[in-house]
Each structure stands twice: as C-alpha cells, then as structure tokens.
Structure 1
C-alpha cells in the first residue's frame, strides 16, 4: 500500500474511533417508554457508516487503483530513466508511481557507461515492480569506430508533422537513442515521430557499441509550422483604359526547411500574362559592378547623357539618341553580349536628334520611340517604330495631346503602351 493510501486509511480509522467512543458512552434513557435523543440516534447512524468505511475501506481503495509502482535501480546509480522511450526526469534509484498496468520498456543511460536498454516490465494494479541494471563502463577503444549520421523526411511542414527518421551511421552500432527536440525520445533504429506543436527542433542521435557512444546533432533539423496555407503578399497593378491587367498569384513549395533550401515557385496568375519578373526577397543588390567593355575600353558609341534604351525579347540591348558634346544625337546601337561590345545599327535613324525621350520594346520585338526634347529646346510629341532592331524607323501619327517632357513609358502586358510625362 502506498504512503498516500496508508495516510487516508489511518485518517478513516481515527474518525471512526472517535464516533465509536461517542456511541459507547451513550447515557441511559431516563424516561422509559420515550424515544432516545435525536442527537444520539444521528451519531449512531454516522458511526455505522464509518465502521463500514473502516472495514471495507482498504478493499475499496485497492479497487480504485489502476496503476502500479515501478522501482528502478542501477549500479552505478544516477542513471537517467526512460520509460517507453520517454525521459521520466528521474534518475536511479527512483520509484515511478501510477504506471499503467501493461507491458513497458525501461532504459537507463549514464555518461561513461553503455546504456541499459529495453528491459521489458509489467505490473498489477496497486503492486510494485522492480528492475535493476548493472551498467558496463564504455571500453573507450577505437575498434570499429562509429560515424553517426541520420536522415529525416520531411524536414518541414504543418503540424501535426510526421517525420521518418533513418539511422545512416557508418559502422555497426548496437543501440540507438533519439532525442527529437520536443521532449520526446526513441530507442528504435528507424523511428517515425510526429511533431504536435509548431517550432524549429534540434534532433540528436546517440549510437553505441561495446567500445563507447557517439552522438550526431543537427540544429534546426525540423521546422513545423502552424496549419494553414502560406501567405504571400501580392503587389498587383491596375490599368487605365478598357483592358484588364493580369491578376498575379503564385505558389511555392516547400515553404520552410533547412538551408540550403531549394524552393519551386509556380505562377498561378490569371489573365494570360506574357512576361514574368520574380523577386525572392533575399537579394542583397550588393554585388560589385563589372565593366563590360574589354579592359575598360570604350563601348563604341560616343559619350552622352539622357539617352533611351530598351531590352529586346531576344536578350539584346538597344541604345538610342541622347545628347553629347556636339548636341542631340539620333544614332542607334545594339549589344548582344550584355553590353560588352556594341554595333552601330544606324548613324542617323530618321527621327531628329533628341534627349529625354522614352522608348519601349513590345512583345513582338519591335521598338517604339516617343517624344523628348530637340536641339532647339522644343518639346517633341512624335512617335516612331522600328521592326528590325533599330535599323529603319517608321513615323506613326503624332500624339494628339501636348508634348511630354522627361516622360516615361511602359508596356503593361496586353501589347499596348502607357506614356506618362
């Protein structure tokens, strides 16, 4: 009988004894033929009840107990006690109360000693089961050294997250002890563990032979996230006019994991987009600039400012006009190797020399050039188009509105052009 149950039994015994004393000294009724005092009758009833508790209490208490006490000792003492792979927080010698009446595995571990592992025990309700481990000191030899390692799959996901762990240790270990980082452990070689709470977990695997133990630790091995779809911030755009802009959307998988992390992004946009630009959020934009011209030489075109340039769908770059030391320019240049070398496409494109003009490359590869400022200081509102990489140009109808100054233009995706000035 446990100390707590024994204390309760003694308390019942004392209460029953006191009530029995009251009943034993009940005075004789001085009025024959009349009822005994109500107080005395009540005390007598209570006494009967407690006498039943006194006589039947031990059996009732025994019936209410469903678990047994596990007594664990080891030589030497001070070993951590694991019950069914879970750390109990106790060290030998210790008694663990209220262990469910079924089969259990007991393991003890002590630094410098080979673990005592997988001792199978059971017990009956209210009873005590004892188990003892004689621990063997690790030999400390270097025969058949172990190189502990393990794999985990998956390493990230939403809770509840079930992870398959596999021992990949080089060598021939004879025992395994996993620590999953969430307070749970296992002594299996290839366990499956389920993470119930969101968090980042460090996992360790300890393996051993008769020569000693060694441990592999992987920090941040598992990332469990709260249930729910990952949220992405989408920056959309509206369009002026009757056309509708595409609606940007995307998915990415996996959304978490240990570095280096490879993520597959998939465009889920609607509205038939014709171009895509991805920004992943880890760009530093701190890379050094490289002079693309050989040995720092000249690119071929003369020094200028306020020119216009576009990138064509084939990856080439077009440069047009600007103002140099001799005034406004109307030449066109093209580079097909990221600006390293340039070829003059046309020394005089047909449109007048200008600067602060705007240009766009359309999806079909054609170029449209608009407005700017001429050499006489006049603002221009003419529009020109080239379908042969700037070699020849055709003038389109002039804009109906006033000429823009230092304007800007974009191609929104439907083949149209937006000019803003």
Structure 2
C-alpha cells in the first residue's frame, strides 16, 4: 500500500522546515521509528522517525529544500493491502478516541497528527510569501573514483551520508558534500574527508570569488533576524544600566562550593542572577507580562519561564527554564548546566524554545561589559549581564578594589513604566550586592 508521510509540526505551531539530510534512499527497507531524515526548523534540528514499516518508494523533497508543514516528503510502500470497498465495522468509541490518527494522517478536525500533538488547523496558518524558483532536478554527480569497499554508485549520489557536525563543517568550509569521496563505513563522509576536500579545493583557482562568501539565510539565522526585527519595530524599547558591586555574591559562591550540597553542582554567577531576577519579578510583576494587542489586554504570568540566551554552532537560541521562580538556587544551577550543555550539543527540543516570559543574556562570557539587548517578541524584559571583574570602588568613603558587574535592562515601555523598570533593576542589583536581602523579602 502506497503511503505518503507528511512533514509534521514538531515545534508547536511551526509552519515550515528545511530537509537537511535523508538517512534512507528509494528501495531501502525501514522499520517503525527508524530515523528517515533530519530537518531544521526555525528553532532546532530534529530527526523524523518513520511511522510505518515498509519499503521507501520515493523521496519527494531534496536536501536543502524548505517545505510547508503537512506537505508529503516521502513515499513508503507498506505490506498492508488496500482497504476493501465494504466499510469496516466501526471501532468502540472510547478506543477510537484514545488511539487517534497515526503520525502524518489527518484527524477528524482536519489537523495532521504530529510527533508532539497536532499541526495547525487547515487554513489557520498563513505562510509568508516566498519568492522561490522551482526546485531544479538534483545535479548528476561528477565522475570520481568510488571507495574500494563500495560499488561505484548505489543510487545515493544526490543524498550524501554524513553526520550533522560534518555537514556543518562542510558548510563552513564551502565544501559541496556531493563532490566528496566518503571513506567511512557504508559510504559515510567523515570530518577528515571534508577537510581533505577543502584543502584540495583551496589549491585550485577560485571560479568566482570577488572576495566574498555567500551563505543562504535559513534556519535559526532567519528566525533570529525576523524576531529581532519584529521586536525592535513593535515594542518601544527602553534600556537602563546599573553597575553593581557583586563582591558579596562571589564570596557566597566560594563558600557554597565548599558545602557538601554543592560539591557536584556547577555553581556559576548566572545562577545567582537568575535567582535574583525571579525574586525581583515578585515585587514588579510588570516585567513578567506580555502585551496582547488583539485582545487589548496585558497578560500577567503566574510563573517565570526564564529564557537563557545561548550561543551555539547553529546560531543564537533561547531555551527556557520552566517555572524558574519555583526552583532553589541549587536547582537553578543544575538546570542551567544541563540547559547549556544540551544547547551547545544542538539537542535542545523545539518545545524548550517557546513560551518564555523573561530572558537573561550573559554577554560577560565574551569579556563584554554591557550592551543594549533587544526584547524577545512577546516578553516585557531582558537583562544583559556584563563581565565580572575587579574594579576601583568607593566603600565607606574609601577607595577599594571590588568585584563589579554591569547590568543592562531593556523593557517594553507599553507594559513597564520607567519607575517600574528602575525598581526592578535596582532590586536585582541589591540582591547581587547583598544576597542576604533575600531573607527579608
């Protein structure tokens, strides 16, 4: 039976995704949950498993193409026979409701079943206009020596096999994977293969350089550009700055590190900032709200869904710490470490990149003192944390060397007045200057 697998919504309302690589080719046998391909959405890279067992009949989309959610991407021939003309007896109502449609099939309301629920209702999502020429047929591979352990061609020339890090390396070096001779098992292209191809290419004259390199705008970079542009021209930004003596906080961190409860915890200054933000939000809830233009309302959130801006090889992403205001300092430190490691490995699930209410961006890790951060769309505030370093400071009328950090708070002036934004920033600074204040609030 011929079955078409449609691109599911893997990110809570995403409308499109790019096919990065296929792990299968026509004629391959696949099992249920076997990985078919890797896709890149505006939020993350995701692997798609097969909903059926059978034989791959046709790949309907080429790597590099961007397709809409709900569009067929692959044909799988299953062993099931075509349904008979006579109607089958209806299943028990309760069982039918619990089971629901399979991944890639439409439910009763017309929505496509996905890996994480259902896609958008038909007609509820409008894609932005795209000026895209018709996809050209895949180019024929240039003649090249085949690996000794594999035949000269196996039908996969247009779908090179390589792991995501190797694909990124090839993109960074400007290497077309279709021109690389694989040396790995089963014809997989390795990092060494890409580096060798890049070295060989550097010795050849450039075809058309002009001193520039062009990279398609897609994935995280496109999503980031759209988000910051929308935010900058929708929400009236105000940014305030504050220099803080964080000597007491750094001393507290040193003491806690020696405590048995924290010995296995990576306790960073960012954990203290996150805790201070959650405490300050309780006194100024306007910083944990959003502006609902359509409803004409200001929506105040009960909990802090704290975004942490993270620089990754794929670009800037902002994973969220759920209900951060309910976590202790130790719990925040543990979640921060896990969140950072997952983001850098490119494994952040799309569901962790949506639904934030306030964001922290740590520019201090790059040695930067401060900046003017742009709000994430739908959020009322974002706090930039600068480098923590020794500086001259006046203490009790005397000049001393103290550990100092600069904070920069941007907020949406539709939601937050200057007095409220100033009070919030002052509260965060006070908690970092004297952590003991938390006991009095």
Q: Flag the structure with more relative contact order, 1 or 2, with Cα contacts below 8 A and sequence separation at least 6.
A: 2
Structure having the higher strand fraction is: 1
Structure of greater Rg: 1
Place the TM-score, normalised by the shorter chain, in its bin.
Answer: under 0.3
Structure having the higher helix fraction is: 2
TM-score, normalisation: structure 1 = 0.18
